[in-house]
Amino acid sequence: MTITALPSGSSSSWSPLCPHPGWEGVYGGLLSRCTSCGLHATSAQPEFVYDETYFTEDGTAGYNFESEFARAYDAARFESELRRLEARGLKGSVLDIGCASGAFLVHAQARGWEVAGVEVADFARERTESLLGVPLARSLDGLPAGKCFDVVTLHHVLEHIHEPLPFLRDEVAPRVGRLLVVEVPNFSSLASRVHGPRWRDLRPDQHVFHYTPALLSRLLSLAGFRPVRVTTLWEPLWSLRTALNSLRLPAGSRAPSQTRRPPARGRPRRGLGPG
């Protein structure tokens, strides 16, 4: 799920993301759900360490950014995102917050954007600096004072943030010159509803909040932005990967064949997650 938002001046609301007192357990207590607004949060607050293995091991807690799958997936979604931004006349400077190993910035730089990034993980930041030939910041405070960017992006970052409202309002908003793009897993997606607690993008060891389009739009409005577009994508590569994980088959493997029976037919599953 991707949402684009415009700065709309200072926020007039200081309300927390969810001020309601009533919560109930979901998925056997793995998550907690607000009975008033429907916000879902991980019950045990995650304290995850983003070391080198997170970026190089393709397990339940990591994502191998150099795998063939990752390269194909990132190229498809990032090239499409950059084309949409350029079609809006936004080509210029871009800041990617939580840029990981730099896939988005590499594609943006190749298309002529002026790129900048923030990454807290030393391994990923140093690797991306070597790819781009551009120094990156460890935090938003490490950027030049008062520096704004035409586009600021958050690709799968916000769900890791413990206090998303002050983060967006006080740290991100001052850096946005024209447009903010936020990408998070879509908790109301078909893939989430089908796979439940086994949904690959749930990741309760890492994700603090689990957003729906409505709740993300509300959060951005509270932070002083004006949401202008919410999109989700059908992602066949990621949907197949999630299905295989649920069947406990490694991606790229084949299910055991059956004799004297034709293959089952069915409708493809849509994975309305990131993007």
Q: What is the pLDDT of residues 144-190, one digit of tens each?
A: 999 999 999 999 999 999 899 999 999 999 999 999 999 999 999 98
More confident residue, 87 or 17: 87
Average pLDDT, stretch 216-221? 92
CATH of the domain at 159: 3.40.50.150
Average pLDDT, stretch 62-91? 81
Q: pTM of the full predicted structure? A: 0.78
CA distance 100 to 50: 10
Q: Is residue 87 part of a domain?
A: yes
Q: Is residue 45 part of a domain?
A: yes
Q: Is residue 6 part of a domain?
A: yes
More confident residue, 81 or 245: 81
Please report the pLDDT score of residue 136 as a whole number. Answer: 96
Question: What confidence tier does 47 reach under pLDDT thresholds 50, 70, 90?
Answer: confident
Q: Is the pLDDT of residue 52 over 90?
A: no
Question: What confidence tier does 19 reach under pLDDT thresholds 50, 70, 90?
Answer: confident
Q: Is residue 187 part of a domain?
A: yes
What is the rounded average pLDDT for all residues in the chain? 79
Domain that holds residue 233: 2-10+22-246
Structural domains of the chain, count: 1
Q: Is the pLDDT of residue 268 over 60?
A: no
Please report the pLDDT score of residue 269 as a whole number. Answer: 31
Q: Is residue 151 part of a domain?
A: yes
List, for residues 103-116, the tens digit of each pLDDT value.
999 999 999 999 99
Question: What confidence tier does 263 reach under pLDDT thresholds 50, 70, 90?
Answer: very low
Q: Is residue 123 part of a domain?
A: yes
Please report the pLDDT score of residue 235 as a whole number. Answer: 55
Instruction: List, as own/partner pairs, every contact residues 15-23 make where C-beta atoms lie below 8 angstroms and the sequence separation is at least 24, other chains included.
Output: 15/222, 16/165, 17/164, 17/165, 17/209, 17/219, 17/222
Q: Is residue 189 part of a domain?
A: yes
Question: What confidence tier does 50 reach under pLDDT thresholds 50, 70, 90?
Answer: confident
Q: Is residue 155 part of a domain?
A: yes
Q: Is the pLDDT of residue 60 over 80?
A: no
Q: Is the pLDDT of residue 51 over 90?
A: no
Please report the pLDDT score of residue 75 as a whole number. Answer: 84
